Amino acid sequence: MVAITRHADSPLAAAASWHIPMCHKNGVEYEYMLLYWLFFRVIFRHGEFADYARFASQLELLPENLLQAKRQFDPRADSIAAQYHDCDYMMWIGGAEMWGDVYLFSMCILEEMQWKRTKSVSSAEFFHGTLELLEKEVPLFLVKGEGRCRALDERVERFAEKITDHLVVIDPRDYPLNGIDDAFRWIMAPCVVSTLLVDRLAAHFEHHTGHDLNIRRYYRQFDY
| CA dihedral for 46, 4, 22, 120, sign (positive or negative) | positive
Residue of 23, 36, 31, 138 whose CA lies nearest to 91: 138
The reported pLDDT for the residue numbered 144 is 98
Q: What separation in angstroms does the CA of 135 have from each of 118, 146, 165, 205? A: 15, 27, 9, 23
Give the helix ranges, DSSP H, for the chain. Answer: 11-15, 28-45, 52-59, 62-84, 99-104, 150-163, 182-194, 202-209
Domains (ranges, CATH) in the chain?
Answer: 61-209 (3.40.50.10490)
The reported pLDDT for the residue numbered 27 is 66
The reported pLDDT for the residue numbered 1 is 85
Which residues, listed in sequence order, are joined to residue 168 by a DSSP beta bridge? 141
The count of other CB atoms within 10 Å of the CB of residue 129 is 9
The reported pLDDT for the residue numbered 197 is 97
pLDDT digits (tens, 9 = 90+) for 125-183: 999 999 999 999 999 999 999 999 999 999 999 999 999 999 999 999 999 999 999 99
Residue of 172, 42, 169 whose CA lies nearest to 97: 172
pLDDT digits (tens, 9 = 90+) for 8-67: 888 888 888 888 887 766 666 778 888 898 899 999 999 999 999 999 999 999 999 999
